[in-house]
Structure 1
Amino acid sequence: MDSVANIFRRYEDVRPRLPAASFEAGTRDIASLLDIADEIDVFVFDAFGVLNVGEVPIPGAAARLHQLRALGCTIRILSNAASYDHDRAVDKFHKLGMTVAPEEIVTSRDATLPTLAPGLWGCIAAPSDDLSDVPAQTVRLMDDPTDYACVDAFLFLSTEIWTPDRQGILLQALERQPRPVMIANADLVAPREGGFTLEPGHFGHLLVDRGIPNVRFFGKPFPEVYEIVEASLPGVPVERIAMCGDTLHTDILGAAARGWRTVLVSRDGLFSGEDVPTYCLSSNIRPTWHLSRI
């Protein structure tokens, strides 16, 4: 999937597997989030395409977070990145020059790990991930089919070293013996400095395409991550929460399904250089607001 049009089509293909949502009648263009700060108590930010692209911060993002906090707004970062534990997620934003407290970050990994049942889990993970926060026994899955055969379930955290051959081994293992598969990052792709990378959601949906049962997705647009954010905001009405993201089928759809308001950010993420209204009309996913950068 090397084009936005192909990525969009694939999201539409898997749309029946995503949460249902209703949307406001139209989308209003704004110049910055400061334009709506009096309507919103909590701004929730996607990371990739909104605050950073790969390891590069988006100009002005850190300053905007400071400005919103100064106005009394609460900040949360809601990321589908599952390749590293919570402490490393905090460290990443510090390295990007963004001061973020641990309680301000929620990741799809945070939502996935508490659901793991006891047993031996086959983990698809980055080499740098020590898996120390995984509350179960683990074995790293590489090229040995016997490892895939012996585990009780599968945990998909990262595509960093995943290959089509390894996906084939996983598929064959599941066809022989169906077992739970937890996809800890529901994204199909992520915007990076050199283009798009395939993410765990892409490979999870390939399994569902082949009829593999018990594949469960975590992260936006699925509800668990939004529930964690809401639990950290007691007393805040959902209509006073705004999700700021670059992807219609994850950020905007998932937040709208919770009754949150939504901001589509288009300059640096999935729809960079694209005709955004065309995609909104085609999908009938309508954000509350649209802007270039936050």
Structure 2
Amino acid sequence: MPDMERLSFEEAWNGYLKWAHRLPPAPPPVTPRRISGIAEIISDFDAVILDNFGVLSLGPPVIPAGPPAYAAIRDAGAAIRVISNDGSKALSAMLESHRRRGYHFAEEEIYAGLSLLEEAARDAAGGLWAAIGLDPLPVPSGTFQARNWATDRFDLDEAAGLLLMDCLSFGRDDFRRVLESFRRYPRPVIVCNPDLTAPYTDAMSLEPGYLAHWLADEAGIEPLFLGKPFPEVYRRALRDLPHVPPERVLCVGDTLHTDVLGGRHLGMKTLLVETGFTRGQDPLALADESGIWPDFIASSI
């Protein structure tokens, strides 16, 4: 795992429960059906939305069942969309990472919260924004004037707003200075990655969504979330598939509060896999506690 601050499952899960009021409402319960993998049900769907971390990969390493499942979806002729909450890199870098793992997605098949950043910039305050992310910042040209506060600790009080993109080598202790500044001077906050955590091979990371909810609690600011489970990123990804009804779209993910909630909120079917956030947990107990129920559960995609 990279040099990131880690979260325990309990910290992340309790955060999702605590901050559920900022997410879409939980849909009506369903009774999940356990399946062997997506190949068992792919004939029932015309489009598939895939998460990356926890479904296709665990950071750099590929999940072994991923490439055969990807081939099964292609063979079935279903449209594929990848919706990731990754806010660390540009689309071209995402595509290259997938290709190294054996997934040959086209550019128009990949979406993230970053896909909505240019539109969000139209309504954003002018001036220099502080960003927390990786250099080079994947900010579309002509949108935000942004500087990476994770590597250049300039005066935060002068920033027009905050972009939360990625937390590599940036932890909760670092973020306390951000909290202090935004308590003094509340300003807009845009979150390109609403995840609280991401699953790696041997641990789980701290992600920008955790910091955003913490900031909202402390400073009374309601962030603008650009990724899952919020509906706009799904609408953007499916805008060229208007002929596919929601119930013929399958969303595959490893997290109830992002992948499952986001898909079911828009009337799509969902498959929860146990290779990421939910590994080692009882998915039915988690669904019962959160009120977020997937349509299908599988050990892996």
TM bucket, shorter chain: over 0.9
- CA offsets, 1:16-48, max 9 Å, x none? 111013235311111121221221111111100
CA contact (8 A) 1:145 1:169 kept: no
* 1:212-291 matched pairs, under 5 angstroms: 212-266=220-274, 268-291=275-298
Any unmatched runs of 5+ in structure 2? 1-5
Change (3 A) 1:3 1:120: closer
Amino acid at match of 1:271: T
* 1:1-294 matched pairs, under 5 angstroms: 2-116=7-121, 117=124, 118-129=126-137, 131=139, 133=141, 135-142=143-150, 146-266=154-274, 268-294=275-301
CA contact (8 A) 2:247 2:267 kept: yes
CA distance in 1 between partners of 2:154 and 2:93 (Å): 31
CA contact (8 A) 1:126 1:161 kept: no
CA distance in 1 between partners of 2:292 and 2:258 (Å): 11
Change (3 A) 1:223 1:31: same
Change (3 A) 1:163 1:38: closer
The Cα shift of 1:217 comes to 1.6
CA contact (8 A) 1:242 1:262 kept: yes
Corresponding residue number in structure 1 for 2:3: none
CA distance in 1 between partners of 2:151 and 2:177 (Å): 8
CA distance in 2 between partners of 1:289 and 1:20 (Å): 20
- CA offsets, 1:55-86, max 9 Å, x none? 00010311221221111111111100010011
CA distance in 1 between partners of 2:9 and 2:178 (Å): 28
The Cα shift of 1:276 comes to 1.4
2:280 aligns to what SS in structure 1? coil
CA contact (8 A) 2:172 2:211 kept: no
CA contact (8 A) 2:86 2:113 kept: yes
Larger displacement relative to structure 2 (104-113 or 142-151): 142-151
CA distance in 2 between partners of 1:254 and 1:131 (Å): 25
CA contact (8 A) 2:9 2:204 kept: no
Amino acid at match of 1:259: G
Normalised TM-score (structure 1) = 0.94
- CA offsets, 1:111-144, max 9 Å, x none? 2332013432111111343645472212221477
- CA offsets, 1:240-292, max 9 Å, x none? 111000000110011111111100011x2011122111111111211011111
Q: How many residues align?
A: 293
2:181 aligns to what SS in structure 1? helix
CA distance in 1 between partners of 2:253 and 2:150 (Å): 33
Change (3 A) 1:275 1:163: closer
1:9 aligns to what SS in structure 2? helix
Change (3 A) 1:143 1:166: farther
Larger displacement relative to structure 2 (161-170 or 176-185): 161-170
Larger displacement relative to structure 2 (33-42 or 52-61): 33-42
CA distance in 1 between partners of 2:16 and 2:294 (Å): 17
CA distance in 2 between partners of 1:134 and 1:19 (Å): 31
- Aligned CA RMSD, in angstroms, stands at 1.8
2:238 aligns to what SS in structure 1? helix
- CA offsets, 1:123-181, max 9 Å, x none? 11113436454722122214776531212111111101323343122111112211101
CA distance in 1 between partners of 2:292 and 2:51 (Å): 17
CA distance in 1 between partners of 2:179 and 2:11 (Å): 24
